[in-house]
Amino acid sequence: MTERPVRDRGAARHEVETRAMESFEARFRERPVVVASAPGRVNLMGDHTDYAGGPVLPMAIDARTAVALRPSDGAVCEIESLEFGACLTTGAIADFESRAHDAADSWLNLAVGPLRLLSERAIGGAPLALPNLRAVIASSVPIGAGLSSSAALSTAMTTAVLRLVDRAVEQWPLIDLLRDAEARFAGTPCGIMDMTVALAAEPNSALLIDCGRRTIEPVPLPTELALLLVDSGVRHALGDGGYAARRAELAASAHDPRFAPRARHVASESARVHRAAAALRAGHLAELGALAFESHASLRHDFEVSVPECDRIVDFVRDQGDAHGTFGARMTGGGFGGSVLVFAARAQLNEARAFLHDGVRAGIGVAIREVCAGERYTAGLERGPT
């Protein structure tokens, strides 16, 4: 049996949290009170099944988004994003309104939108009267790559503020709030997968989440499995309407035969999720890879959310990869761009990397990276000299 490489799962968290904290001190000349972070995710199987009440099989990754913040005595909130290179001001959180989805400041929808809902809803007690904030956001989750940078940001910001005001909120109401905020403020009528994995991830495991029954079961990852992401180079924005259109088509499929393929995808993909979880438990990696190819074909033809750039990566792995230690590939995330997840044998990881790099040099994808299982969100008081 191949041993899993020794990794400090906290290293990625500490790096991004430290960057947020140090940047906060540099900008505001004081220490933050709370530092929180949350992971991105990669979905092994089960795209566009969560909002249909079906199962999904994601895992948290070691790329994270961190928020450092403290209350402000000023009349506005000041929020800096290091990745977007901007420090923006907003009025009171309770008055926040959605920014245009294609605007340069639209990332505020994910950072502040959930806080607006916290100020409106009585979850974990009465609605919160939130103070104005100073905050700095740092992230290692690629934006638009299908790795749920949006949920990582909204989860990190929301859990940081909850820790700041010392309010405990149960997991499922918090998941619902984060989902509703993404729909209301970012224009993405998503399901609960991304928020759930950010809040409930388990070490070295995927999560089998039944989104209808609201159950979560950790599925340990075999040590023989390696996961590589190939970036297609096509950036998606799920708030631009394509995602919402597919969800509407799925809802209409019971009455309109034109959309029957949408329902067929959800049914077949839900079955694949359970088969993939069983294959992981049994260490049947060849079966897992075959399911990945089937999943991509369904997303490509029945749900029509893939793009040619992703298709070329999957075809490259399917046609040539078996001799190089790769045995499955599928687009991951909501679609319309992003990344392809490639399943590889850890014993042949270097060979698999070289094979995929050859593809990138030939114009099949733009970059590759290994993804490792990450840890769930953390939110704590920052201690030390002020």
List the chain pLDDT tens, one digit each, 386 residues: 233 333 455 677 789 999 999 999 999 999 999 999 999 999 999 999 999 999 999 999 999 999 999 999 888 999 999 999 999 999 999 999 999 888 899 999 999 999 999 999 878 778 888 999 999 999 999 888 889 999 999 999 999 999 999 999 999 999 999 999 999 999 888 999 999 999 999 999 999 999 999 999 999 999 999 999 999 999 866 555 688 899 999 999 999 999 999 999 999 999 999 999 999 999 999 999 999 999 999 999 999 999 999 999 999 999 998 899 999 999 998 888 889 999 999 999 999 999 999 999 999 999 999 999 999 999 998 754 33
- Domain shared by 305 and 245, yes or no: yes
- Domain shared by 40 and 130, yes or no: yes
- Domain shared by 192 and 242, yes or no: no
SS3 139: strand
Beta bridge partners of 227: 343
In a domain, residue 4? The reply is no
In a domain, residue 25? The reply is yes
- Amino acid 4: pLDDT: 35
What amino acid positions are annotated as catalytic residues?
194
What DSSP assignment string belongs to 162-213? HHHTT----HHHHHHHHHHHHHHHH-----SHHHHHHHH--TTEEEEEETTT
The answer to whether 207 and 219 are in contact (CB under 8 A) is yes
- Amino acid 102: pLDDT: 83
Beta bridge partners of 58: 43
- Amino acid 238: pLDDT: 55
- Residue 140 has what DSSP assignment? -
φ, ψ of residue 231 to 5 degrees: the values are -75, 125
- Domain shared by 207 and 225, yes or no: no
- Domain shared by 207 and 230, yes or no: no
What DSSP assignment string belongs to 208-241? EEETTTTEEEEEEPPTTEEEEEEE-S----GGGS
End-to-end CA distance of the chain: 50
- Domain shared by 83 and 138, yes or no: yes
- Amino acid 143: pLDDT: 87
| Domain span at 61 | 9-214+377-381
79: CATH: 3.30.230.10
Separate counts of helices (H) and strands (E) for the chain: 10, 12
